[in-house]
Amino acid sequence: MKKKVVVGMSGGVDSSVAAYLLKEQGYDVIGVTMQVWQEDEEYEANEGGCCSLSAVEDARMVAYKLDIPFYVMNFKDIFKKNVIDYFIDEYMEGRTPNPCVACNKYIKFDALLKKAMDLGADYVATGHYATIEKDGDRYLLRKSEDDRKDQTYALYNLTQHQLAHTLMPCGEYKKDRIREIAKEIGLIVHNKKDSEEICFIPDNDHGSYIKKQAPNKVREGYFVDKHGNLLGKHKGIVYYTIGQRKGLGIALGKPVFVTDITPLTNTVVLGSEEDIFKTKLVAKDINFIPFDSLESTMEVEAKIRYSAKPAKAWISPIGEGKIKVVFEDKQRAITKGQSVVFYNKDLLIGGGIIDEIL
C-alpha cells in the first residue's frame, strides 16, 4: 500500500516540483494550500504572496497537471494568532521577529501536520531546501544541496516527531535544476519568481502595516543618544530595527545607526556603527535536533539572521531554558526577536530566539 503524503502547495515552483518528485517516487500525493490570508483586497490580489488567491489558483492548476487531489484548508485564525499577532506584538516590544520561523513552527509543521494525520497521511511535505536523514534513533536536519537557497535557518524548531513525518525532496537539488524539472514537465510556474517579502505584507512596509493593524498603539517618540540626550522625533518604534541607517528621517551631519529600542520610554537610541557590533547574547525558546538538551559548553557556527554568514561561537546552558552565545568575532546588529541558529558544518544543531544582548 502506498504511503500517503500531504504536500503544502504555495503555488510556487519549489512546492510544485516537490509534489511531482514524491509522486514519481511512488507516494500517494495530496496537494493542500493553506488559506492564511485575512480579509484584505490588496493582499488577496497580490501576485507575490505565497498563499494569496492567485497562488491558490497556481497550485490548483499544478495539482490538475500532476493529476493529484487538491484542497484549500482554512488556517486563518491560527495564522493570525501565531504569526500576525505575534509579529505585531514583538515589534511593539522593540523586537524584530522572523515570521517565517513562527509559521514553520506553528502552521506548516504543527497545524498542517496534525490535519494531514487526521486525513490518514503518513507525512507532510514542503518545498523547503533542507535534507532530513535518520541516524540511529535520531532524525537530523542538514543543509540542502543548494547552499544559496538553504532554508534550515527557519527550520530549527522541528521536533523529532515532526521530522519523522516530514519530507523535503527539493533539498537534494539545486534551485536551477528544480526550475528545469518544472519546465520539462510543463508546469506553468517554472519561471515564477521567488517570493521574498513577508507573505502578509505585500509592499514589505512592516511599519505601515502595523500602524494600520494597531493604530492606537503606534505613537511618535524621540530619538536619543546613548546618554539620553534628545536628538529629534521618530514616527513610532515599529518602524525601526537594530543596525538601521536609512529611512530614519533625521539628519545629524554624520552617519548614525539604531543601536537600541526602548519600548518603556518609546525611544529609539542612535549611535555610531561601532556601537552595533557585539559578541555576546542570551537566547530563549531553545530547540535542539541531534540531542534533547545542552549539558555543557559546545563550539558551533552560529547565524544571527537568515542572511548572515555562520560565525564561530560557543554556546552554554545558563538555566531557565536559556543559553548564552559568545562569538569569537564581533557580530553586526545582533537583534532581539531574531533567531540565532547553530551548525556543525552542514548539520543543524538547533536555535532559539535572541532575548538579550550582553
| 199 catalytically annotated | yes
Q: Is 92 annotated among the ligand-binding residues?
A: no
Q: Is 8 annotated among the ligand-binding residues?
A: yes
Confirm if 11 and 56 have CB atoms less than 8 A apart: yes
Q: Is 9 annotated among the ligand-binding residues?
A: yes
Q: Is 249 annotated among the ligand-binding residues?
A: no
* Separation CA 338–CA 242 (nearest Å): 11
* Separation CA 240–CA 227 (nearest Å): 19
Q: Is 298 annotated among the ligand-binding residues?
A: no
Burial of 355 (0-12, 13-18, 19+ CB in 10 A): middle
**What are 19's three cell numbers?**
509534489
Q: Is 34 annotated among the ligand-binding residues?
A: yes
Q: Is 12 annotated among the ligand-binding residues?
A: yes
Strands 28-35 and 70-74: parallel
> Looking up cell 504569526, which residue turns up?
83
Which entry of 50, 51, 100, 103 is annotated as an active-site residue?
103
Q: Is 272 annotated among the ligand-binding residues?
A: no
| 103 catalytically annotated | yes
* Separation CA 143–CA 172 (nearest Å): 9
Q: Is 243 helix (H, G, I), strand (E, B) or coil?
A: coil
- Per DSSP, the residues of 10-68 read -SSHHHHHHHHHHHHTT-EEEEEEEE---S-HHHHT-SS-TTSHHHHHHHHHHHHHHT-
**What are 76's three cell numbers?**
486563518
Binding residues: 8-15, 34, 127
Binding residues for ATP: 8-15, 34, 127
The residues annotated as belonging to the active site are: 103, 199
